[in-house]
Structure 1
């Protein structure tokens, strides 16, 4: 993909409210992710679905940086 096409693609994704994340994974894990891809679906979409499914219904952990009072 040429530089201008990549820039346009990134711009469109940002306009949709998406933000980039770079993750380095071992080759066997990438191969497993690729095996989960549906026809015409990209790796980024597959990874987003996996993360969304994992996070669904979960709440973030409580902030432990706050001071606690001992009673």
Structure 2
């Protein structure tokens, strides 16, 4: 589930960064790196949530 979280931000950021480099626009390049970082953070949060759900399910299954 978490693998798609933040993907849009990462892709948008990579495009902005590439376009910024190609045009010499440092602001756009920096915005692109920021968007990529935001996307990675969203993915990390989603991964933690998925693991927590899995751990909770595992604990409930062990109680049976």
Q: Structure 2-normalised TM-score? A: 0.28
Q: Based on CA coordinates, which of the two structures has the bigger radius of gyration?
A: 1
Q: Which has the higher contact order (CA 8 A, sep 6+)?
A: 2
Q: Which has the higher helix share?
A: 2
